[in-house]
Chain A
């Protein structure tokens, strides 16, 4: 109870709506981790090997990488021994605690964007095909616009059919300019143009779209390298953020994606999209731990305002949201446990 309630209290004091969104996004299905963990703690009378094995399995099904799961379970075992815990209910709190700890490591949380106080901030978006780069840019453009910033979009996906038009539609929706060239042109040239335009029009933020590419395509990754180089050359210190967009439904391959894109473009943060489905995107925990790339935003739907800043506690809370609800209900009923 303790940790959950503390966490919940803390979160309700924070942004109510965001938490709601998180919860909505993450509890749409009954088959979520929390109900499974609940199920688990209800079924076991004591904390034993079987209990841990089943816990392992629950986390694996959330795509939390296997190694991370093993580490978590090991730490849990130690903690349980240290505190001499027998009751499975008590372990539940530690599970959340440890998950957040593993995600964070020793590092300070940096989930805000590196926005320049004066002058242009350039944000480059990278990722494999179909993860939602263009949509994320649209949403983020909306967010910045709401904050009163002048935003320009660079249509750097010159490859996929209809990609430029897709970004243009977003530009219209949000009411920001889109810098583009024709399909098939050099994306690096588009970036060059966009930077010149952003300067001339005194924009605050330049959001750069790129074509989706699988991380094992050498030539395409080189192209991306070049895009980044052109930006660097034009504005020292830019791009100020390189955001890797990851699809929450992706499994273990997300780690490989993060690794390769980081190598080529020095990724500074992750946007985890499609978290409103049944997928949990648990691999971000492993990515943060191994590659030290923090998640900065999560996509929770298709509407313009469905992009939220990431907060690890909220994320884990979201994963286990059902737990708290059920526990409260139980207490209200004068529950039987």
Chain B
């Protein structure tokens, strides 16, 4: 059930082929079977998978792969390139009307996360683009949906336009635009009720709203965990309304999110944003390449790097690098490092982004406990300044004191010191290898 990433599966296939000297057409076919499986496990729609495989096979059988010394990796590269391309190449932004206000309609199935996304989008527009959005509560059907949007509005200190649940959504939307013009709002975000794509009456209602308010954007909000049905939903909404883009929600879960590919393939509309958490700032632009990696189970190295860059203080990083070069790192520096790793977000999420992390047995289900870092922190903080700088002076009685001070067993203190010592040794070795090659990551004591 736990499906390891495509890269691992392809490696297994390659091992069978290895030693042949040359990759034949049937070998490629076998590799393609693995690709097909990987995509199906990721919930990419079967039809999309089929046409995709056909396209990739043609390229893979071609010269570039056959002649390569590492055909397995070449295949992965071809697959990923094609996937990224299919996913939309570059990012696309939210529309701006030539004459404000820009009207955005949020549509989708029940429970996809429309209301939450509406709040997040408004927040993003204001924070990042300095806009003045108006939220419109047009979901008159679900109990307390209006209330939900109003609460979000309050949290964000943003105005919410509502006429209660006794007025038709078409009228609410129309009046909202008038109101927005009077109040000089430059964005109007209309939160519509969740509905099934096959519910004719409710779909008609959306068409009417569209007629009336002439939206600049119609964003289809889709749950990233959606399975094969994503194709039906997206096609139907697109055919009936002509959507302009997609927001993929709940991507902070552990789904591979193959729905993204299906939707993109059948509608050819860009995925504009992804929802990555329950907080109001957890909406980010969509990165096709990262999504491609995720679907294939190849880790999200890019996101990880960006997160690291955002969290690590540049000055400190330089200073640390100096120290690492001279292997004069102290436990204090180490503590700093820990803080920075922590700033990057929950550890298990970070781990998931590492390629091959899902190959390591058990890691998939492993919950990295942020507490463990706290323990390491507590131990180091229980040391004196001198001890932190010169850990070699820590003898048995000091160890006992540190253990008592941090509330951790002595063994744990020992383990930390030992690992720290090894880390230093490693740094020395790394320095000896000098500038040649990339620096290998060192192992943190809690990993």
In the bound complex, residues from chain A placing their C-beta under 8 Å from that of B40 are 60, 66
Interface string of A19-63 (1 = CB under 8 A from B): 000000000110100000000000000000000000001001111
How far, in angstroms, from A160 to B41 measured CA to CA in the complex? 31
Q: Which stretch (A8-16, A117-125, A214-222, A234-242) binds chain B?
A: A214-222
Q: Is A277 touching B223 in the complex (CB atoms < 8 A)?
A: no
Question: B253 at the A/B interface (Cβ < 8 Å)?
Answer: yes
Identify which of A31, A57, A129, A277 contacts B109 (C-beta below 8 A): A277
Q: Which stretch (A143-151, A252-260, A305-313) binds chain B?
A: A252-260
Smallest distance from the beta carbon of B66 to chain A beta carbons, Å?
Answer: 27
Interface string of B307-344 (1 = CB under 8 A from A): 00000000000000000000000000000000000000
Identify which of A57, A61, A65, A215 contacts B254 (C-beta below 8 A): A215
Smallest distance from the beta carbon of A234 to chain B beta carbons, Å?
Answer: 28
How far, in angstroms, from A17 to B50 measured CA to CA in the complex? 40
Q: Is A165 touching B228 in the complex (CB atoms < 8 A)?
A: no
Question: B213 at the A/B interface (Cβ < 8 Å)?
Answer: no
Interface string of A203-217 (1 = CB under 8 A from B): 000000000001111
Interface string of B208-230 (1 = CB under 8 A from A): 00000000000000010111111
How far, in angstroms, from A302 to B43 measured CA to CA in the complex? 27
In the bound complex, residues from chain A placing their C-beta under 8 Å from that of B155 are 161
- Kindly state the interface size class of chain A when it binds its partner: 35 or more
Given A57-B46, A278-B198, A216 and B109 touching (CB < 8 A)? no
Smallest distance from the beta carbon of B46 to chain A beta carbons, Å?
Answer: 5
How far, in angstroms, from A165 to B252 measured CA to CA in the complex? 26
Question: B255 at the A/B interface (Cβ < 8 Å)?
Answer: yes
Q: Which stretch (A74-82, A224-232, A243-251) binds chain B?
A: A243-251
Identify which of B3, B110, B148, B197 contacts A166 (C-beta below 8 A): B148
Grouping DSSP codes into helix (H, G, I), strand (E, B) and loop, the A interface class, with mixed when no group exceeds half, is loop
How far, in angstroms, from A254 to B43 measured CA to CA in the complex? 11
Q: Is B46 touching A28 in the complex (CB atoms < 8 A)?
A: no
In the bound complex, residues from chain A placing their C-beta under 8 Å from that of B369 are 218
How far, in angstroms, from A128 to B149 measured CA to CA in the complex? 20
Q: Is B254 touching A276 in the complex (CB atoms < 8 A)?
A: no
Q: Smallest CB-CB separation from A133: which chain B residue?
A: B111
Q: Is B278 touching A159 in the complex (CB atoms < 8 A)?
A: yes
Given A28-B198, A66-B40, A277-B198, A129 and B226 touching (CB < 8 A)? no
Binding site for A on B (CB under 8 A): 1, 3, 37, 40-43, 45-46, 109-113, 115, 141-145, 147-152, 155, 196-198, 223, 225-230, 232-233, 250, 252-256, 258-259, 278, 346, 348-349, 367, 369
